[in-house]
Amino acid sequence: MGSGWLPSEELQLCVSWVRQSTCIITGRYQCKDNLWKKVYEDYAKNWCGNPEDPHQGPRSKCALESHFPRLKKMLKKWHTALSKARSRAASGTNLVDEILVPIANGTEEMEAIMIIDILRRAKATVVVASVEDKLETIASRKVKLEADVLLDEAVKSSYDLIVLPGGIGGAQAFAKSETLVNLLKKQRDSNKPYGAICASPALVFEPHGLLKGKKATAFPALCEKLSDQSEIENRVLVDGNLITSRGPGTSMEFALGIVEKFFGREKAVELAKVMVFVHP
């Protein structure tokens, strides 16, 4: 907001806007002018006062309108997030918005496909991003994998979860990608979950400090590169917001572990039975 506006005023206006825009989300149409009028009326009615100036009343409608363009972008994000949350709740889908799965030349195809497939079965929105300069990549066993977007485009969004498949070549490409490494560090610093399997914990997370204070596992031949090797024998290891695993043979367990952690055990068991990973 503009100079002189108190956080309490900003918050009250945002709350009023969200409260009044509910009718749009639930299908009761209002034109923009009418909606803004209702927002102002709600704001004025629920004005809690300025603790620094008890005599100050709510801002005038003209003052609010003059600052509305500046507020509009933030309110639009709130509206979109609220709309998505209600839509997911109504349909019974998960509350995770988007998951990023990077791929590169040399990515282990079994791991990449297992992660993408199972998370999409769980109704997650999975964005597959190429760290190369084109969408098509050649995986470790020469299988062609095509991404949804290039990483440079993918980083324009934020993600609730970032998961790296392994493969020596792919992990090396990830580790060299400054864009991806910075995105992973931002994910960690924002206390958002991230994970990796096979070579990626050792070749990407470890050298870039993404395992500091964390227990992790990795491909057996690369576990010596991990600073903390106390739990490396686990096939899937969860430590707070970090989840790691060992290789192609543990990729289904890894993906189901992600589903269990973020979408609930009931959904993970349901998928495991559907895929005959456990007895139906």
Which residues belong to the active site? 198
Q: Round to whole Å and give the CA distance between 23 and 81.
A: 15
* 3-class SS letters over 91-124: HCCCCCCEEEEEECCCCCHHHHHHHHHHHHHCCC
For tokens 């993918």, the residue is 154
Chain position carrying tokens 């485009």? 153
Contact predicate 268/131, CB 8 Å: no
Please report, as a single letter, which amino acid is at residue 5: W
Interhelix angle 251-263/265-274, nearest 10 degrees: 140
- Looking at residue 179, its amino acid is T
* Cα–Cα distance measured from residue 266 to residue 272, given in angstroms and rounded to the nearest whole number: 10
